[in-house]
Chains A and B, each alone.
Chain A
Amino acid sequence: MSVNAYERVWMWGAGGLIVLFLAAIGITAVTQAVQPPSHIETINPATLADHPEFGDPQVKTTADGKVVVSMVAEMFQFRPDPIEVPVNTPITFRITSADVVHGMMIVGTNANAMAVPGYVSQFTITFPKAGDYDIACHEFCGLMHHAMVGKITVKGGRP
């Protein structure tokens, strides 16, 4: 099929741009692990209260110095609340839901994951700045959805 010369240039340009976008995404995904939270782990939401980790979710520091925050999202709160973590340290968040689908976003950062009943979401993030942050639910979970806000304090480092 015959294509107008200008349009041909445009199409190559558009194709090139798309390849460039994908290359930028692909390279950072591989070299810097810029990836969405994609953990695959299931959990029984009916027996969450008796679960060794999520029955009483807490911030724990493992023997090798890793900080793990276990969280439960439920209508209309996050547990534990408030949370305290150190600055400039990789923090692993593990979160599940006790009832409907919730969202978990630490406002002002790129910590953002769904909390789905029956599944555990997990991601690791480092806070470069100390301070108080809000944790907001970002998936409609019932009539008080907007009021489902938790607190996280990032401590230490330079003031």
Chain B
Amino acid sequence: MTAPSGFARTAPARLAAAHLLVAVAAFGVAAIMGLLQGLSIADVEFPMRSESLYYMFVTAHGVLMALVFTTFFIMGLGYALCYAQFGRIVGMKSAWFAFWLALAGTVAAAFTILNGQSTVLYTFYPPMQAHPVFYIGATLLVIGSWIWGGVTIASYRSWKRDHPATPAPMAMHGMLATIVVWYLATSGLAWEVLFMLIPWSLGWVATIDPVIARTLFWWFGHPLVYFWLMPAYVLWYTVMPRIAGGRLFSDRLARMVFILFVILSTPVGFHHQFADPGISANWKFVHTITTFAILFPSFVTAFTVIASLEVAGRMKGAKGLFDWIGRLPWSDPFFAAMALALLSFAFGGFGGAINAAYGMNAMVHNTAWIMGHFHVTLGTTSALTFMGATYWLMPRLLGRELKLTALARIQPWLWFIGMGIFSTSFHIAGLRGLPRRVYSASLAGDQGAAWSGLATMGAIGGVVLFLSAMAFVSVVIATWTAGRKIEGPAFEFAVPLEPVTSLGVWDRLGMWTIVGIVFVILAYAYPLATLIMTPRFGSPPFQPF
């Protein structure tokens, strides 16, 4: 499963690299805002500190990290893997059109945020209302990603015509499943933004229903998490064992894992709305069941990926029970980033099970615990994997050797340590009652005895994270502009212990997509229909920022 070398500096490589560049730029800007947010919560005074700046930064940090960095990175990674494994990208012109469309949308939306017109956070719950360009810009970003999905599927179909009896190579099996999840997820978002938010923000309709909007947002909002996570899994399954010198432990189960995400990632949104009125407890419980079911593919991933790494250690001669861990290439920045991301996901998974636990959720809902939680999941499991993957992608796309390698080696460890401090502090503070997203942890001025000192610890973690982020950005800039020109290594993927050559049930992506759609309908049709038929009163817009 080795793609031809000489990928670097080809047209598809330039396409992927352009996406990577936007992702890293968004990440760098958002990291600065993250630092200032951490300081503000801990009541550290700095020039220009103000409420409006803080909440604007919360919005920009969320949008740039959660939507822009991730989406652009995943599209770039997707194009690179698509070319590496299918040997083609069908629709290069459409792909570039999508890139510019998504970039234009991002810049337009970001402008209204930085101009103080769209301080609505990345969840943009109405009846708080942003500038119309915020919603339209976000829509263009999503449309760009839809075109990316279309280009990838067209490339797959073209490859399939040449290889009718071969299963899709593992990495692209995972990326295609990711694209299906993205389409299922963004259908809810499209409904909310196109039919509710945009007409309302332009003044075409006077009022909006906040609970229906929230329901549609979380129809999108949870599978969004798997949109971030699945590409990380793709890299863990197919690239990490290869870098470690091992084999993929089980090809079939890895395929199953991605299909389970297609089926289960969307019908779970009510676990973000446990505290909402307007949705019955029974339907919240139904979504609790699917939420816990989706733990299963992650449990399988933990086993398969770690077993693949053990195979690597043993192939290098490890004998005892835990010897193999020391034989892994911990000094390789790519490997260290992925392995630490994997470790973080164990913590993230435990926290996630607590968040999803229906009754127990009331202890943590909308507290700083949640902030702690998604910084070990999205903020480490996905983000650190993507940073590591950037070190792996750059030589292959740009034909340049990694620069500042010492910095690149310590960067993942800095991130891991910084996040450990940051996330643990806010998990505990949240349990003690610190609400999330507050300008100051002393709230109105005299609260905060219960979480005294924890916000300061969080800020210290934030400083370490910021240093790590700047190290990452420096390595990228140095490599991009001054890395020694090389041939560009080939894209190489882990070979399964037992190679699979025939199509199996988990390769039937079309069929599983239909099952996924049926699950979404089962999960949402009845509760949404009930809400729509209830006599309701809409809300006019507010802009308290």
Residues of A within 8 A of B (CB): 1-4, 6-7, 10-11, 14-15, 17-18, 21-22, 25-26, 28-29, 34-46, 75, 99-101, 103, 105, 107-108, 110-114, 116-122, 134, 136-149
Task: Check B278–A40 contact: CB distance below 8 A.
Answer: yes
CB distance from B350 to the nearest CB of A (A): 11
Taking A105-B366, A105-B433, A147-B445 as contacts, is the C-beta distance between A37 and B277 under 8 angstroms? yes
Task: Check B293–A121 contact: CB distance below 8 A.
Answer: no
CB distance from B228 to the nearest CB of A (A): 22
Residues of B within 8 A of A (CB): 51-52, 55, 58, 119, 121, 125, 127-128, 209-211, 214, 249-250, 252-253, 273-281, 284-285, 288-289, 292-293, 295-296, 299-300, 303-304, 307, 353, 357-359, 361-363, 365-367, 432-433, 435-440, 443-445, 447, 450, 498, 504, 534-540, 542, 544-545
Contacts of B128 in A (CB 8 A): 100-101, 140-142
Task: Check A40–B277 contact: CB distance below 8 A.
Answer: yes
A40 vs B530: C-alpha distance in the bound complex, in angstroms? 10
Taking A38-B284, A100-B544, A105-B367 as contacts, is the C-beta distance between A138 and B435 under 8 angstroms? yes
Task: Check B534–A42 contact: CB distance below 8 A.
Answer: yes
Contacts of A100 in B (CB 8 A): 125, 127-128, 539, 542, 544
A28 vs B119: C-alpha distance in the bound complex, in angstroms? 40
Task: Check A138–B436 contact: CB distance below 8 A.
Answer: yes
CB distance from A19 to the nearest CB of B (A): 9
Selected contact of B249 from candidates A4, A75, A122, CB within 8 Å:
A4
CB distance from A90 to the nearest CB of B (A): 16
**24 chain-A/chain-B pairs, Cβ below 8 angstroms:** A1-B253, A3-B252, A6-B303, A7-B303, A17-B299, A22-B288, A29-B359, A36-B359, A38-B277, A42-B278, A103-B275, A103-B366, A105-B433, A105-B435, A107-B447, A110-B363, A112-B366, A113-B275, A114-B273, A116-B210, A136-B435, A146-B439, A146-B443, A148-B444
Contacts of B276 in A (CB 8 A): 38, 114, 116, 121
Contacts of B362 in A (CB 8 A): 36, 110-112
Task: Check A140–B210 contact: CB distance below 8 A.
Answer: no
Selected contact of B542 from candidates A99, A108, A149, CB within 8 Å:
A99
Task: Check A107–B250 contact: CB distance below 8 A.
Answer: no
